[in-house]
């Protein structure tokens, strides 16, 4: 058969992607067998010989010699006269092997064959890419900004694989230029049709956890374990760490001298404020640490409803709640408890929900988002603080304060 130089010309239609020869030979044989089935109706009696060194491919058709005029299956049988044209000493009942030339398949079949080969290669590449990235889910990955769209950034890695970083998976302060390198975790991989869709995230808690593994040797070596990570991307995060070696201070090792170790992580996350705390099985102590930098006076737990009533000195309340209610919200996520904050020395308090006749429920909800569920927790803060913490007009906040003050003046 004509020398197809298949190995030499393979890069023309496989996008310069690496493919092992065994797989290549299997794909080539499969493609040619499909072409033979279309041409002759069956491929069982064909031998396909591929020479990977020369890039040659030979096809041989095997038929049985029958007497002239008795051929019933042209693909399986050959008349004695036709057999003797190939070799003059053939006899009835013998096997005949005849080479099938590429051109015997026809021009249209050759074009279809080539297209089928390209399709099979792409399918193989896509399956390999899917498997490769499926194994990388949850791991940090780096790729270059190729195209910036309104709702996503399209990244390309060194092998030309396309990775999508959706807008909602970006940290609010993220700003990237074309050609810039971006780090994130591979969050999901799906096959859409035959093409893999690879999604990267910079907002996932796993990204912060993996950054700890990369930047802090003790975490990488397993001397320190990251027990839990919660984030409000770009704003604040809390990381609970533990060590089975009593000689190691897990928080100190993670933060470093004057924050030297954690500084690179903070910068990567757009100056996200990261609290690192010691993990403990003592839930009261865990909640107390989770509310850092606030100092807790006492905690009352309801383990059945997973609620915790936390008593603090008046000057500690705002620290426990944090800007925009971020601190108390993250402490709740970290510990798995709904945390209610109460001011020390004030026994009488009223849930904000009790004022639903006078205050719209959506307004009460906005206060709750900031960790302010009771009248006292609202009244102990100044108007200026409330305006900063809650997404409401000052006029609305002043009106709420008036209603609450009247309740306690009575």
Beta strands at 140-148 and 95-99: parallel, antiparallel or unpaired: unpaired
CATH T-level fold of 348-410: DNA polymerase; domain 1 (1.10.150)
Question: Looking at residue 10, what is its pLDDT?
Answer: 44
Question: Looking at residue 253, what is its pLDDT?
Answer: 92
| Residue 356 clears pLDDT 50, i.e. is over it | yes
Q: State how far Cα 408 lies from the chain centre.
A: 51
C-beta of residue 342 within 8 angstroms of C-beta of residue 308: no
C-beta of residue 343 within 8 angstroms of C-beta of residue 317: yes
Start and end residues for every CATH 1.10.150 domain found in the chain: 348-410
Question: Looking at residue 20, what is its pLDDT?
Answer: 61
| Residue 193 clears pLDDT 90, i.e. is over it | no
Nearest of 163, 237, 174, 229 to residue 196 by alpha carbon: 163
C-beta of residue 173 within 8 angstroms of C-beta of residue 146: no
| Residue 73 clears pLDDT 90, i.e. is over it | no
Q: Please give the CATH architecture assigned to the domain spanning 10-131.
A: 2-Layer Sandwich (3.30)
Q: What is the pLDDT of residues 142-153, one digit of tens each?
A: 999 999 998 999
Q: Please give the CATH architecture assigned to the domain spanning 136-203.
A: Beta Barrel (2.40)
Of 115-119, 202-206, 255-259, 370-374, which range is least confident? 115-119
Q: What is the pLDDT of residues 18-31, one digit of tens each?
A: 566 666 677 777 77
Start and end residues for every CATH 3.30.1480 domain found in the chain: 10-131
Cα atoms found within 13 Å of the Cα of residue 41, Cβ hemisphere only:
4
Identify the H or E element spanning 183.
strand 181-192
| Residue 45 clears pLDDT 90, i.e. is over it | no
Mean pLDDT of 174-198: 90
Q: State how far Cα 53 lies from the chain centre.
A: 41
Q: What is the pLDDT of residues 242-290, one digit of tens each?
A: 998 889 999 999 998 888 889 999 999 999 999 999 999 999 999 999 9
């Amino acid at each position: 058969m004509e020398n197809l130089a298949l190995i030499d010309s393979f890069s023309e239609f496989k996008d310069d992607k690496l493919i092992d020869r065994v797989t290549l030979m299997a794909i080539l044989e499969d493609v040619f067998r499909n072409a033979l089935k279309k041409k002759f109706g069956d491929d069982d009696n064909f031998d396909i010989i591929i020479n990977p060194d020369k890039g040659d491919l030979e096809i041989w058709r095997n038929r049985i010699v029958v007497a002239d005029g008795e051929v019933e299956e042209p693909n399986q049988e050959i008349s004695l006269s036709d057999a003797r044209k190939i070799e003059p000493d053939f006899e009835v009942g013998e096997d005949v092997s005849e080479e099938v030339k590429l051109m015997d398949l026809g021009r249209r079949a050759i074009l279809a064959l080539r297209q089928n080969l390209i399709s099979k290669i792409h399918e193989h590449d896509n399956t390999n890419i899917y498997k490769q990235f499926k194994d990388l889910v949850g791991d940090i990955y780096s790729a270059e900004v190729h195209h910036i769209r309104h709702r996503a950034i399209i990244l390309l890695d060194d092998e030309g694989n396309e990775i999508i970083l959706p807008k909602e998976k970006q940290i609010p302060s993220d700003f990237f230029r074309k050609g810039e390198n971006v780090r994130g975790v591979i969050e999901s991989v799906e096959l859409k049709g035959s093409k893999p869709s690879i999604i990267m995230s910079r907002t996932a808690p796993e990204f912060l956890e993996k950054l700890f593994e990369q930047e802090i040797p003790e975490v990488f070596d397993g001397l320190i374990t990251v027990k839990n990570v919660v984030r409000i991307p770009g704003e604040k995060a809390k990381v609970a760490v533990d060590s089975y070696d009593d000689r190691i201070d897990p928080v100190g090792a993670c933060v470093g001298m004057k924050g030297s170790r954690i500084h690179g992580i903070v910068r990567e996350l757009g100056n996200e404020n990261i609290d690192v705390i010691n993990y403990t099985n003592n839930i009261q102590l865990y909640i107390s640490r989770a509310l850092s930098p606030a100092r807790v006076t006492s905690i009352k737990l309801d383990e059945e409803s997973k609620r915790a009533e936390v008593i603090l000195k008046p000057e500690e309340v705002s620290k426990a709640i944090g800007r925009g209610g971020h601190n108390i919200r993250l402490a709740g996520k970290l510990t798995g408890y709904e945390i209610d904050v109460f001011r020390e020395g004030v026994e009488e308090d009223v849930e904000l929900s009790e004022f639903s006749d006078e205050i719209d429920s959506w307004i009460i909800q906005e206060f709750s988002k900031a960790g302010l569920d009771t009248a006292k927790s609202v009244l102990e803060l100044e108007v200026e603080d409330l305006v900063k913490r809650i997404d409401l007009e000052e006029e609305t906040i002043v009106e709420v304060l008036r209603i609450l003050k009247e309740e306690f003046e009575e």
